[in-house]
Structure formats: structure tokens, C-alpha cells
Amino acid sequence: MGQIEALIFLLGMAALLAQLARVARVPYPIFLVLGGLTLGFTPGLPTVEIPPEVIFVIFLPPLLNSSAYAFSPLDLRAHLRAITLLSVGLVLLTTLGVAAVAHFVVGLPWAASFVLGAILAPTDPVAAEAIFRRLGVPERVGTVVGGESLINDGTGLVAFRVALVAVTTGTFSLWEAGLDFLLVGGGGILFGLVVARVVLPLWGRLRDPSIQITFSVLIPYGVYICSERLLGVSGILAVVAYGMVQGWRAPRLFANASTRIQAVAFWGVLVFVLEALLFVLVGQQLPSIIGNLGEYAFWQILLYAALVYVALLLTRTAFFFTVPYLHPVFDRLLRSRYGRGTPQEYLVMSWSGMRGGVSLAAALTVPTVVDGQAYEVRDLILFITFAVILATLVLQGLTLPTLINRLRLEGETDTTAELRARLEGARAALDRLERMCAENSLPPQNEQGMRDYYEDRIRRYESGIEAGGVTREYAESSATWRNWRRDLIEAEREAIIRMRDMGEISPETMRRIERDLDLEESRIGG
């Protein structure tokens, strides 16, 4: 079986595993990694070999752009201190902690130890965010964990690049490494912001939905490739900066509502396919890695991996239970105030530090040959990386829901704010209707129909706000209304399908009407 056929097979298996995870109510990255591991050890099944640089170029730009697109710059500014401490301070501390264990316990040279530390420093939030969405956690927890993962991918890989230079050249300068860290990271952020300032107005002028959506995918790839290959700065941070600006300005840049709906649907499928393939590929790599570690006993490499994992976990936990308590000191130095979290929140955030595809892709780029000789510790670095990824995803991913429930950590769902926003929108539409009626002579029946529609929405939203948010009675009333409206739409849909079957209307006419009904049904929500 060729590589293309094997890739199609893996994608099919990823979709099946994701469905099983949905049925079992388990974050799908866990099922995908374990499924890929099973596939890798099953004789006769195909193994896909993808160069690590391809993993970076193909997978990272759209995944990072999608995450940054959904992240609010206001949230970043509100939690900038915490996110910066985690994405820079914790990354460097984790690199040092893992490097110390790798050198003094595992016996790796210092340069290789720092490479391993930088590989394992960045977190992957996919599994944690899936659990947060399902169980609900305080907004601060989700924002900090998500913001950390956006930035620390870039800072971790910048640190990895610096450590890799030390491996290949045999020299290391702390001053030069620090300067390179700042220039590469800061240059990536600056380039992403400049591209967003120049490109987004041009992108917003596109009016064809297919072309606009196509460029929404191609631009992050261009930002990443130009950053890495032409400028030598961090492509990850460049894509994150661009994606955050794009997400903030997108509501005013899409050609119309239809384009926006198509874009959301397309990006949802694209992100799922890429994440699914990436996690299956992560699981599939282990058999080949173990095969190259013949000089080590299996219990020995398992012990090394366990010690590195413990060091990783203890470093993160110690950080969360020490540094946040220094915020009063930062308040005095920076003349600002930052809201502190609770010990329960710190425990959940420390347990949410799972690793994923970025760490494995970085490990795969470790050179096989250094100074003309085989780099013997490469396979050990790969195995430890994979074992830590597996441990964080499976152990922490499966126990995180239990931890959240035991700590009784519940999110504060501000439904009143949502109702106020909907109410403000309905009132704005009604005001616009008043001006339109004054400027144009609309048919009375059309004017009254639209007026009744918006006045009904205003009454429903006001009743929800007066009840203090989405109460049980309000939710049941809304659910009844949605079910009633869906039944009516289904009656319309059956009628036009019946007319198509009898030849009274063409299939094209049926599809146009069906599209309008589908849009109306999707707007109902619930």
C-alpha cells in the first residue's frame, strides 16, 4: 500500500476513533493517540512516514490560525501578565528542569538535555479545551490555558532552535542565545501584525465566497513560510499574531453572511481533519522509535521517561503554586492590579499541561548526524518525548474531568450578558426599521410583519433579563419555541421535496429554497 492510500486509510480510522471518543464522552485526541499506537503495532497495517518539516509546514499554520482566530485580544490584554509568565517564564523553567533531570539522571549531554527540555516545554490545549467546553470551568482558567498554549508554542520552539544550534556547533553563549530568543520571537510577532495590517483590507475586498475562504487558508501558510524561510523569525508567533487580528476584524471583512457560514463550516472540517491525522500519526511513530533503542533495556527507557514526566509535572505544579502568589509584588512594581485565582483553579491549570503534536514534530527534527557521526541519543529523545506525550494525554486527559468535578469548579455562564447583547441588536434593528419606514414607503403588511418579529424578540430577551439570565423556565420556553419552529420548517422542507419528486419544480429550485430553510434552522440554534 502506497503512502497516499495509507494516508487515506489513517484518515478513515481517525474519523471512526473520533466517533468512538464522542460516544464514550472522552476527548478525541486520547482515542486517536491510542488508536494510532494500536495501528503502529498491528502487523500488516500501513505506516505513514511524514518528514517532520512537512508536519510543521502542513499542520501548524491552519491549526494555530484557527486557535488564534477564536482568541480575543481583550482577553489577552486582561490576562497578559499570567499568559506571559506561563508562555515565557514557565517555558524556560520547564526547559531547565527537564534538562537537569535528563543530564544528571538519564545521562544525556547538556546540549541534548536542553533540546529535550525545549521540545517538552510547549503545551497542547486540544484535549484540555474539549474537557473545559463539556464540563464548564471559570472563564479565567480557559483563557489562561488557551492563551498560554498559543504563545508557548512559539517560545518553546525558539528555545528549541537555540538548543539545536548548540548541538550542531558544539558552542553555546547565554548572551547570544537570549538575544536570538528575543529577536526571533519579537520579529515573528511584528511580522504577523504587519501582514495583518497590509493583507486583511485586501482580503476583505474579495467578494466570491470560494476565493475568500481559499485565501483565508493560504495566507497563514504564506505568513509561516515567509517568517521561517525568508526572515528567519518565529513562524508560529507570526501566524498567532496574524490570526488574532484576523479574528478580531473578520466580522467586518466577510463579504456576506453566506460566506461567513461557509467559512465557519469549512474551517471546522479542516481543523478536525488536521488534528485527527496529527494525533494518529503521533501514536503511529512509537514502534519504529522502540526498534532503534536496542542498546537500552525496555524497563530502563521507561524509567527515564517516567522521571522526565515527573519532573515536567512537578515543575508546572510548583510554578502555579508559587509564582501567582507574587502578583502583589508585580502589582507594586507595575502599578497595576491583577485578579488572582483560587488554589482549585491553579490545580486544574497545572493538570491541564498536556503535550501533543508540536513536541513530537520538534523531536523528529533532531538531526540524525552531527559532525559526520550518528547522533546516538536522538532515538532516546524521541522515545522520551513520545512517552511523555502519551502520559500527559492519557493520564491527565482521562483524570482531568474527575478533578474538575471533585473540586466543584464550575464556570460562571454569563447568560445575562448574552441576552443583553441580543436585546441591543434587536433594538438597533427596530430603530433602523423606523428610519427605513420614514425614508421609504414600505407596504404596510411588510412593515408590520417585521415590526412584530423584532418586538417579539425584544419581549423574550427582556423577560430573560428580568428573570436573572437563562432560568429553567426561560430555557424550557425557548426550547419549546425552537422545537415548534423546527417542525414548521420540516413541513416546508417535505412540501418542496414532494413537489420536486412530482416534477412540479426543478432540483435547482428545490435546492435554493432548501438552502434558505437550512439557514433559518441553523439560526434557531439549540
pLDDT of residue 96: 93
Query: For the ranges 129-143, 271-285, 327-341, which has the lowest average pLDDT?
Result: 327-341
Tally: H helices and E strands in the chain: 24, 2
Give a yes or no: residue 505 inside a domain. no
Q: So what's the pLDDT on residue 335?
A: 65
- Give the separation between CA 3 and CA 278, rounded to whole angstroms: 15
Which segment of 80-84, 126-130, 147-151, 210-214 scores lowest on mean pLDDT?
Answer: 126-130
Q: Which helix (H) or strand (E) is 373 found in, with range?
A: strand 373-374
Read off the pLDDT of residues 194-244 as tens digits, 9 standing for 90 and up.
Answer: 999 999 999 988 888 899 999 999 999 999 999 999 998 988 899 999 999
265 and 118 belong to one structural domain = yes
Question: Could you tell me if residue 432 is inside a domain?
Answer: yes
Whole domain around residue 448: which residue ranges?
413-470
274 pLDDT more than 90: no
Specify the CATH number for the domain of residue 190: 1.20.1530.20
pLDDT of residue 241: 93
One domain, residues 281 and 419? no
Q: Is residue 323 part of a domain?
A: yes
385 and 428 inside one domain: no
Q: Hey, which of 219-223, 244-248, 257-261 has the most confident mean pLDDT?
A: 219-223
User: How confident is residue 495, by pLDDT bands cut at 50, 70 and 90?
Assistant: very high
Domain boundary among 470, 492, 510: 470
Task: Tell me: do 152 and 290 sit in the same domain.
Answer: yes
Which of 171-180, 294-303, 499-508 bottoms out in mean pLDDT, i.e. has the lowest? 171-180
Tally of CB atoms within 10 A around 434? 12
Q: Which of 434, 452, 470 is the last residue of a domain?
A: 470
Which of 406, 427, 451 corresponds to the end of one domain? Answer: 406
What the block records as the C-alpha cell of 252 is 467586518
Task: Name which residue leads in pLDDT, 499 or 168.
Answer: 499
Domain shared by 318 and 375, yes or no:
yes
Give the best-scoring range by mean pLDDT among 151-155, 265-269, 305-309, 436-440. Answer: 305-309
Specify the pLDDT at position 45: 72
Which has the minimum average pLDDT: 90-99, 384-393, 448-457, 489-498?
448-457
Convert the pLDDT of each residue in 464-492 to its tens digit.
Answer: 777 665 556 666 666 777 788 888 888 99
Would you say residue 56 lies in a domain?
yes
Mean pLDDT of the chain: 83
- 505 contacts: CB under 8 Å, gap ≥ 6: 496, 499
Residue 335 forms part of a structural domain:
yes
Q: Residue 98: pLDDT band by 50, 70, 90 thresholds?
A: very high
Percent of the chain with pLDDT strictly greater than 70 = 91
Better-predicted residue by pLDDT, 382 or 137: 382
**317 and 450 co-located in one domain:** no
Q: How many domains does the chain have?
A: 2
Report the pLDDT value the prediction gives residue 172, as an integer from 0 to 100. Answer: 65
Q: Concatenated DSSP letters for 317-371?
A: HHHHTTGGGGHHHHHHHHT-------HHHHHHHHHT----HHHHHHHHTS-SEET
Comparison of pLDDT for 35 and 331, the residue scoring more: 35
Asked, for residue 26, whether it belongs to a domain, the answer is: no
Q: Is residue 395 domain-shared with residue 440, that is, in the same domain?
A: no
Looking at the fold, whether 391 and 445 belong to one and the same domain comes out as no
SS3 state at 467:
coil
Q: What is the pLDDT of residue 214?
A: 94
Instruction: Identify whether 476 is part of a domain.
Output: no
Please check whether residues 304 and 373 belong to one and the same domain.
Answer: yes
Q: At residue 445, does pLDDT exceed 70? A: no
- 426 and 376 co-located in one domain: no
Note whether residue 525 is domain-resident.
no
Angle separating helix axes 52-69 and 209-225, nearest 10 degrees: 120
Regarding whether 322 and 359 lie in a shared domain, the answer is yes
231 and 286 co-located in one domain: yes
